[in-house]
Chains A and B, each alone.
Chain A
């Protein structure tokens, strides 16, 4: 090509040289021929030696030299332009290769232009494409960076959510367990309160029967007091009778004593009368024995009377003591009655309170059971939430990875 291209514009002078050489004779036209031969070979630097020629030949040689100069100039100019074009195309190729191989977009600058009317718009378009790509890459890079940071944030948030959700699940589990315990405790309380109410009921029953018993006791005490008063009365009467017996016995004693003496003296008289008074003496002795027996008996009776007197005195004392004892017993009984009354009131209150507690704890138990059920539902939901947040965390992690990979990929394109 390089050989052809300069030939075309030199065609017109070629026949001129040929004609000149052939016309100017075979000897004297040698410089022209040489120059033309060189030109024909593509060497436009060779010149016809005008000094060796003369005349017309010299003129032709001068013209030939002028033509050759012009051709050489044009050739040089063409070579320069070609060089430039090649350079620009090389640069474009270079940029393209860099883009393809390394993602390098910075090789091409907008200053790379050419005057070539054909190549210029192509290069311009190439430059625009590169520029567009660069902008694109830059934006993608920025977006990838943002995406990465956002994905990181999402991952962090998701992780936090997961951990807090796990904590929540644990807390809910604990709360459920506590509520379960509370349920058991309230059941226990309800049971105990029921037992208290039952015991209070029994106590109430016992206190009521105790009240009745105390009433009977007081009545019995009053009866005993009346009886002991009657006993004291009877004892006083008995005492008087015994005194009377004592007087009678004294009289009998006196009589017996006198009889004794009489008998003794009769026996004495009988013994003085000798044999005749013997029978009399015997009778008198018998009389005396009788009198002594009576004396012994009265002595016994007197002892008995003394004993009876002591016994009646003791009985009177006992009756007195019994009277005062029954009086204090009555007082104690009424005190016990009032105590039992207050016990009754207290037990009634206790019973009522226990019943109220029982009712309240039953309600509490129901409420606690509802809470436990709700807590179970919440636990279920929380478990699902935890599962979902785990999945979200996994997805966020994947997203972060993907964003990093995207950033990595886009980094291959160097756009700055």
Chain B
């Protein structure tokens, strides 16, 4: 789980390869606004996605303690920026509520909404990272 802007988002751990710090970012021309650039990580070149722009709910403000997590779905992988990482949580499938159609985040990109019993943590949008990655790729190719 991580926070991003006003949002608190969650990603299934099988879709997360690693959490790391932001390295030197290389901007790419003629890319979607949601793609900030590319970054080198362990010999791999990964696109850096601003999820806020991608979801159309705002714009990321880079902070010094910003993290990126590297999301994988099949053969696709990308780095996603987050303000901070809240931590790992164990969530039962039964606790996942269907995503509301009227939420900030498009419902087709979500697995659902979970509530944790911890204090200070509200409802968390659980991202369907496979779809997010596919959608991002589609957008990048569409351009």
Contacts and interface: CB of A to CB of B under 8 A. Distances in A.
Contacts of A288: 87
A261 B13 CA distance: 15
Interface residues of A, number: 11
Nearest to B13: A271
Given A257-B65, A271-B13, A272-B13, A281 B21 contact: no
Interface in A222-272: 257, 261, 264-265, 267-268, 271-272
Interface string B104-121: 000000000000000000
B88 A285 contact: yes
Contacts of B88: 264, 267-268, 271, 281, 285
Contacts of B85: 264
B14 A272 contact: yes
Contacts of B16: 268
A215 to B, nearest CB: 60
Interface of A is mostly: helix
B22 to A, nearest CB: 11
A285 B20 CA distance: 16
A268 B87 contact: no
A122 B87 CA distance: 194
Contacts of A268: 13, 16, 18-19, 88
Contacts of A265: 18-20
> Residue among A267, A268, A271, A285 with the most chain B CB within 10 A?
A268
Given A264-B87, A271-B13, 7 more contacts: A261-B20, A268-B19, A271-B88, A272-B13, A272-B14, A285-B88, A288-B87
Listed from nearest, the 3 A-B pairs whose CB atoms lie closest are: A264-B19, A271-B13, A267-B88
Interface of B: 13-14, 16, 18-21, 65, 67, 85, 87-88
